[in-house]
Structure 1
Amino acid sequence: MERKARAAAESGVLLLVIAGILVALNALSALGVYKRFDLTKAERFKLSKGSANLVHDMKQTMKVDFYVTKGLPKLDAFVRDLRDLLQEYKDASGGKFDYTIIEAKDEEQKKAAKEAGLRETPFGEASATEEKAAVTMGFMGLVLKYGSEKDTLPYLDPSNTSGLEFWITNKIREIRDKADDIKHKVGVLTGHDEMKLTEANLVPAQLGKPSMQDILVKNFPFYSFQDVDLKNGDNAIDESLDGLVITQPGKDLSEKELRRIDEFLLKGKSLAIFASAVNVKANDASMNATLATHGLEKLLEGYGIELKKEVVLDFGRAFTVNMLTQGGIAAKRFPQLLTVQDDPRFTGDEALLDASFPAFFRMTDLAVPFASPLVLHADKQPDATVRAIARSSPNANAVGGDSVDLKPFQNWATLRKKGALAQYAIAASVEGTLKTAFPSGDKQGIETPEKSAKPARLFILASSQFLANPFARAGNAPDMGQMGMMMPQMGGDEQLQQLAQPYAQQAITQTILSFKNTLDWLGGDSELLAVSAKILNEAPLVYGEVSKPNIDFENETEEQLKKRDEEMKAARKTTQNKVQWLLILGIPLLFSLYGVYRWRSRLAARENVSLA
């Protein structure tokens, strides 16, 4: 009895101690003293190193007024989360970032918020227990002041917390660059009928006319684009540019122009190429491609990258759109548009997407239209790292010739059986001390060293329309100026425009973000890549029991391929169900069994106690 009393007293004391610890932790949390641990892959719940360094390295102090509306559970939770994020900026800044929370209740505060550029917005929230909703008017935005500059994030949506750090950090960067006169100039090659960044080719015409350059300049105005016309090689490239971008040319580059690009790169600069051998004209609904590399192959060959005059058709990872047909909803595949995914089941030299490379940082998938194969020859650049950073699936083939029919709806069986199926590199990088691409021949008055004076960088994504929506570019009617503004839906190919909408929904956000990351890479701002990754959705789980697809694309019919798809989906669903029930029932059951085991062990131990 004495032993039982002692055990009961010890248990009571232990419970009191645990209760005291919990009360203390809750009290500290209420006072704002707590620590969060973020174990997510994208570090979604802690400040990125790039954001921390940005505010820490500011020359002046930034003041932020955080206008909030409270009173509803969702609003209160959002305010708390954003306050925590702002506090992390403050803690990392070394005294160069501070914020004030303002709940605009009186007319004077509301007037100040409106004059600063914030929008008064209705906020509503339905009751979970009663058939009614609460509505209130107020503000939810930031006013940022740095030096002589002032700007706002006029409205933050409490129902969408993803990407908050992304938009705040980019706004901080924008204001800082204006006040401190920091320039980010990117050169874009012109003069060869290139696919321009200013083309309105991202969505079907009836949805508007946004261009890649418009979106970037509007949302990230710290970038400026400068046309680079080499004038057949007579003009050198401005050394003040952060880097040079080459988009799909429509005419050949002369050797003298290629030597000018080599000259620029050997000064320790950066070059990004978004081009392939696949040339599909704008507003051409036939989508018949001519195959030509327009001289880029001569430049790339010198850096250890062979650009093949072929188009990659990927039957293993084709871009897929679910469409309404007479037989119901059917998945339509477009093998001329590759879906390149970060799939950990493919490793080493089979890896599909290197999500550690800046342009693709932490991305889960990308749509890559009209790609050409790349073959790497690392021996040509012994002092640099030459590597493939994106590949097709192993079930792809490369088709050559002078032209290839790439219209969306066709029987792909003939093209599928042209050549053996294989995996192809479609993106590559070269980084380090580069040797000139033109060590011999007529220098044509352009003197270049044998090697770059400092490390230089080259990135190529061998896709002619990666920076566009290929269905919109081919399906939209030609720009008709004033008449087109009066009748915006006139002309064009309706079927391609219908396909352009799901392509925009599925692919364009990642495309824009990848290009923004490339611009950061060109300018040496790679630290901010982790911030950009936070606007993306979390990567889907990959289940090890669902093996890599092993499909006989050469001999199987479309019906058999469809059946394979269903089998893969069923296998994935089965594995998901197993994981779900393991988490719901399995782990609690294991804890229960362990508790019973411990209880029975104690009983057995007590029965064997000797009172001698």
Structure 2
Amino acid sequence: MERKARAAAESGVLLLVIAGILVALNALSALGVYKRFDTTKSERFKLSKGSGTMVREMKQSMQVDAYVTKGLPKLDAFVRDLRDLLQEYKDASGGKFNYNIIEAKDEETKKTAKDAGLVEQPFGEASATESEKAAVTMGFMGLVLKYGSEKDSIRSLDPGNTSGLEFWLTNKIREIRDKADDVKRKIGVLTGHDEMKLSEANLVPAQLGKATMQDIITKNFPFYTFQDVDLKNGDSAIDEALEGLIITQPGKDISEKELRRIDEFVMKGKSLAVFASAVNVKASDASMNATLNAHGLDKLLAGYGIELKKEAVLDFGRSFGVQMLTQGGIARPRFPAFLSVQDDSRFSGEEQLLDSSFPAFFRMNDLVFPFSSPLLLHTDIQPEATVKSVARSTPNSTAVGGETVDLKPFQNWSTLRKKSAPAQYVIAATVDGTLKTAFPSGDKQGIDTPEKSKSAARVFVLSASQFLANPFARAGNAPDMGQMGMMMPQMGGDEQLQQLAQPYAQQALTNTILSFKNTLDWLGGDSDLLAVSAKILNEAPLAYGEVSKPNIDFENETDEQLKKREDEMKASRKSTQNKVQWLLILGLPLLFSLYGVLRWRSRIASRENVSLA
């Protein structure tokens, strides 16, 4: 009895100690003394190293005033997360970043917020217990940033979304810093060959506006500016002050002298990004009848160890698709000319589909590559550099050659599918290191290019001619009428393609824009901030390791059999989900119960063996 009393007293003291520790920890947390641990792949809940490095290396100090509104649970939670994020900037800055949280209640504070450019807006929240009740309040949720002589603001923040908060704040800090410190980041864009321009309104159907890739980048990331590069048939050299050069899909041949000018630029230790393939589809051509022509780019890229084939890749293993309502019900057409390339853990090594460690695709789950051509890599041509693939099609792809190829969206693809045996094709590649000139022999045409680059140089080839566009909008929109078109509503074009352009914009363009922005960072040498861009992406979907890779028999399987195979894969995933669900519901409790029974039996056995001698 005495032993039992002593054990009970010890247990009571232990419980009191544990309760005291928990109360103390909660008290410290309420005072703001706590530590968060982030185990997510994208480091979603802690400051990226790039953001910390940026504020720590600022030449001057930055002050951020956060005007906030409290009083609703959602707002209070958002303000807490905002405060935590700002504190992480401060901790990482070495004293160069400071902030204030200001609750705009009185008229004087509200006026100060408005004068700084912030927007007073309504915030509402439904009652969690009474469905017919809701609370609404007016207030501010924005940031005012001051750095040196520069001052700017983020006019409003969405309390319902914190996933991209660091992304927008870091880019705003970067914008203000570059203005105050007079930092110029100019990217050259090749012109003069009927290229698909960044300023072309090809991202959405014409009736929804004239969105362009250039406008989106310069508006949201104004620290980058684009400069047209006209080589004037090779008589003009490329400005050395440019961070890098971009080549988009050309519409006519690039002369050898111009190619030598591009090579001359790369040999100075510069970076080159090529968004082009041999698949040419004209704007406002609803037939999508493609001509196959590399327009001279194949000569340049071959010199760097990347052979651009005069073919079009069609991927029947994984391609972009939409859900459509038809007279016969819901249809899910797929478009094999638009390759949906995903970061799939089931494909590794020489089969890896998307290299999400490469800067342009950093931590991305999927991207759409419209109108791609195969790339063959020849590592022996650049022995002092690394030549590698960063994106591939699935093994269930075919390559179609010839002078032209019909890529209209709705057709029977069986004939094209059997043009070649199924294979996997490289569709994006990089060369990085000390590069040999792409033109070691022949007539130099007055351009004195060294045999090797004077420092490490880089070439990135993304072989998809309309990667930086919405191919449905570009083909489906009517021709641009210029000034006359501004005086009348948009008319003409292909209605079906314009309808397809909307889901394409919703599903594909966010990742496309972020990938292009990452490429600009890569060109400018700002790769440290890539992890910040990844914060705006959705979390990666679950990977089902037990679900086997797709293995399709091109020659013998019909469309109905392919549909059945896809349904079987979905059923396999569902089965895996059910196993995990029941393991969590029943398995873990049973495991703990079994552990408790074993401990109980162990104690009884120990008491029976106690000797009183």
Question: Post-superposition shift, 1:205?
Answer: 0.8
Higher mean alpha-carbon deviation, 589-598 vs 14-23, is at 589-598
Question: What is residue 585 of structure 1 aligned with on the other side?
Answer: 586
Question: What is residue 236 of structure 2 aligned with on the other side?
Answer: 235
Question: What is residue 200 of structure 1 aligned with on the other side?
Answer: 201
Question: What is residue 397 of structure 1 aligned with on the other side?
Answer: 398
> What secondary structure is seen at the aligned counterpart in 1 of 2:444?
coil
- 1:252-291, CA deviations, whole angstroms, 9 ceiling, x for partnerless residues? 1111100000000000000000000000000111100000
Q: Where do residues 21-420 of structure 1 align in structure 2 (5 Å cutoff)?
A: 21-130=21-130, 131-420=132-421
> What secondary structure is seen at the aligned counterpart in 2 of 1:356?
coil
For 1:592, give the aligned amino acid.
Answer: S
> What secondary structure is seen at the aligned counterpart in 2 of 1:137?
strand
Q: Distance in 2 between matches of 1:215 and 1:266?
A: 31
For 2:64, give the aligned amino acid.
Answer: V
For 1:64, give the aligned amino acid.
Answer: V
Q: Distance in 1 between matches of 2:340 and 2:199?
A: 25
- 1:480-509, CA deviations, whole angstroms, 9 ceiling, x for partnerless residues? 134423433310000000110000001000
Contact 1:243 1:523 in 2 (8 A): yes
Matched, 1:563 2:551: no
Q: Distance in 1 between matches of 2:17 and 2:311?
A: 72
Cα gap change, 1:554/1:319 in structure 2, threshold over 3 Å: closer, same or farther?
A: farther
For 1:599, give the aligned amino acid.
Answer: W
> What secondary structure is seen at the aligned counterpart in 1 of 2:58?
coil
For 1:161, give the aligned amino acid.
Answer: T
Aligned length: 612
- 1:453-476, CA deviations, whole angstroms, 9 ceiling, x for partnerless residues? 100000000010000000000000
For 1:42, give the aligned amino acid.
Answer: S
Q: Distance in 1 between matches of 2:489 and 2:289?
A: 26
Q: Distance in 1 between matches of 2:27 and 2:70?
A: 22
- 1:190-247, CA deviations, whole angstroms, 9 ceiling, x for partnerless residues? 0000000000000111111110000000000000000000001000000000000000
> What secondary structure is seen at the aligned counterpart in 1 of 2:322?
strand
For 1:129, give the aligned amino acid.
Answer: T
Question: Post-superposition shift, 1:582?
Answer: 1.7
Q: Distance in 1 between matches of 2:597 and 2:175?
A: 61
Q: Distance in 1 between matches of 2:383 and 2:302?
A: 14
Matched, 1:540 2:532: no
Cα gap change, 1:275/1:3 in structure 2, threshold over 3 Å: closer, same or farther?
A: same
Q: Distance in 2 between matches of 1:236 and 1:581?
A: 66
Question: What is residue 596 of structure 2 aligned with on the other side?
Answer: 595
> What secondary structure is seen at the aligned counterpart in 1 of 2:323?
strand
> What secondary structure is seen at the aligned counterpart in 1 of 2:179?
helix
For 1:401, give the aligned amino acid.
Answer: G
> What secondary structure is seen at the aligned counterpart in 2 of 1:222?
coil
Question: Post-superposition shift, 1:559?
Answer: 1.3
For 1:517, give the aligned amino acid.
Answer: N
> What secondary structure is seen at the aligned counterpart in 1 of 2:332?
strand
Question: Post-superposition shift, 1:600?
Answer: 2.0
Q: Distance in 2 between matches of 1:489 and 1:592?
A: 69
Question: What is residue 575 of structure 1 aligned with on the other side?
Answer: 576
Question: Post-superposition shift, 1:85?
Answer: 0.2
- 1:41-84, CA deviations, whole angstroms, 9 ceiling, x for partnerless residues? 00000000000011000011100110000000000000000100
Question: Post-superposition shift, 1:604?
Answer: 2.1
Cα gap change, 1:482/1:257 in structure 2, threshold over 3 Å: closer, same or farther?
A: closer
Question: What is residue 450 of structure 2 aligned with on the other side?
Answer: 449
Q: Distance in 2 between matches of 1:408 and 1:374?
A: 24
Question: What is residue 15 of structure 1 aligned with on the other side?
Answer: 15
Q: Distance in 1 between matches of 2:118 and 2:512?
A: 30
Percent identical pairs in the alignment equals 83
Q: Distance in 1 between matches of 2:484 and 2:251?
A: 27
Question: Post-superposition shift, 1:581?
Answer: 2.3
Q: Distance in 2 between matches of 1:593 and 1:470?
A: 59
Q: Distance in 1 between matches of 2:153 and 2:458?
A: 36
Higher mean alpha-carbon deviation, 391-400 vs 587-596, is at 587-596
Higher mean alpha-carbon deviation, 445-454 vs 594-603, is at 594-603
Q: Distance in 1 between matches of 2:303 and 2:399?
A: 23
Question: Post-superposition shift, 1:611?
Answer: 2.0
For 1:108, give the aligned amino acid.
Answer: E
Question: What is residue 499 of structure 1 aligned with on the other side?
Answer: 500
For 2:443, give the aligned amino acid.
Answer: D
User: Normalised by the size of structure 2, how large is the TM-score?
Assistant: 0.99
Q: 5+ unaligned residues in a row in structure 1: which ranges?
A: none
Q: Distance in 1 between matches of 2:584 and 2:44?
A: 23
Question: Post-superposition shift, 1:147?
Answer: 0.7
Contact 1:205 1:488 in 2 (8 A): no
Q: Distance in 1 between matches of 2:599 and 2:328?
A: 60
Contact 1:268 1:452 in 2 (8 A): yes
For 1:369, give the aligned amino acid.
Answer: P
Question: What is residue 429 of structure 2 aligned with on the other side?
Answer: 428
Q: Distance in 2 between matches of 1:29 and 1:219?
A: 36
For 1:311, give the aligned amino acid.
Answer: A
For 1:138, give the aligned amino acid.
Answer: G
For 1:94, give the aligned amino acid.
Answer: G
> What secondary structure is seen at the aligned counterpart in 1 of 2:540?
coil
For 1:102, give the aligned amino acid.
Answer: I
Q: Distance in 2 between matches of 1:426 and 1:313?
A: 11
For 1:450, give the aligned amino acid.
Answer: E
Higher mean alpha-carbon deviation, 104-113 vs 583-592, is at 583-592
Q: Distance in 2 between matches of 1:588 and 1:87?
A: 40
Q: Distance in 1 between matches of 2:428 and 2:420?
A: 21
Question: Post-superposition shift, 1:320?
Answer: 1.0
Q: Distance in 2 between matches of 1:576 and 1:328?
A: 28
> What secondary structure is seen at the aligned counterpart in 2 of 1:124?
strand
User: Normalised by the size of structure 1, how large is the TM-score?
Assistant: 0.99
Q: Distance in 1 between matches of 2:554 and 2:608?
A: 69
For 2:268, give the aligned amino acid.
Answer: K
Higher mean alpha-carbon deviation, 6-15 vs 64-73, is at 6-15
Q: Distance in 2 between matches of 1:474 and 1:514?
A: 23
> What secondary structure is seen at the aligned counterpart in 2 of 1:142?
strand
Q: Distance in 2 between matches of 1:594 and 1:353?
A: 44
Question: Post-superposition shift, 1:327?
Answer: 2.5
Higher mean alpha-carbon deviation, 129-138 vs 483-492, is at 483-492
> What secondary structure is seen at the aligned counterpart in 2 of 1:414?
helix
Q: Distance in 1 between matches of 2:301 and 2:558?
A: 38
Q: Distance in 2 between matches of 1:113 and 1:582?
A: 52
Q: Distance in 1 between matches of 2:303 and 2:18?
A: 69
Question: Post-superposition shift, 1:580?
Answer: 2.1
Higher mean alpha-carbon deviation, 126-135 vs 291-300, is at 126-135
Contact 1:117 1:152 in 2 (8 A): yes
Contact 1:249 1:294 in 2 (8 A): yes
Q: Distance in 2 between matches of 1:589 and 1:484?
A: 70
